[in-house]
């Protein structure tokens, strides 16, 4: 398994554990994230590209992987 697959696997496991806890804080975060990335003045694609940049600056590999995938799913090309 390569590094990116390991990062993805760890992120998915951590996310599943948080969701399983049914924490109101986690639920509120997911709702905030959904609202923040909704198409409005800026499209979701543009917001995801901004998030890619933030992920690079903060050196968060898991974040980079997630937001690159989300941006590509919204039609961004790199």
pTM of this prediction exceeds 0.85: no
Q: In terms of Cα–Cα distance, which of 17, 20, 15, 21 is closest to 33?
A: 15
| Class of residue 56 by CB neighbours under 10 A (exposed 0-12, middle 13-18, buried 19+) | middle
Element containing residue 75 per DSSP (H, E): none
Q: CA 56 → CA 6, 19, 35, 69, distances in Å?
A: 18, 26, 23, 14
Query: For 3-73, CATH number?
Result: 1.20.1290.10
Kindly tell me if the per-residue pLDDT of 78 is higher than 90. no
Q: What is the pLDDT of residue 4?
A: 84
pLDDT, tens only, 23-34: 899 999 999 999
Mean pLDDT, residues 38-53 taken together:
96
Q: What is the pLDDT of residue 54?
A: 98
Contact 53, 47 (CB under 8 A): no
Q: What is the pLDDT of residue 65?
A: 94
Q: What is the pLDDT of residue 66?
A: 93
């Amino acid at each position: 398994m390569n590094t990116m697959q390991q990062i993805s696997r760890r992120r998915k496991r951590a996310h599943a554990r948080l969701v399983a806890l049914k924490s109101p804080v986690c639920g509120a975060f997911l709702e905030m994230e959904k609202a923040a990335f909704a198409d409005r003045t800026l499209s979701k694609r543009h917001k995801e590209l901004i998030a890619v940049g933030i992920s690079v600056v903060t050196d968060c590999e898991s974040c980079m992987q997630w937001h690159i995938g989300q941006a590509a799913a919204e039609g961004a090309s790199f």
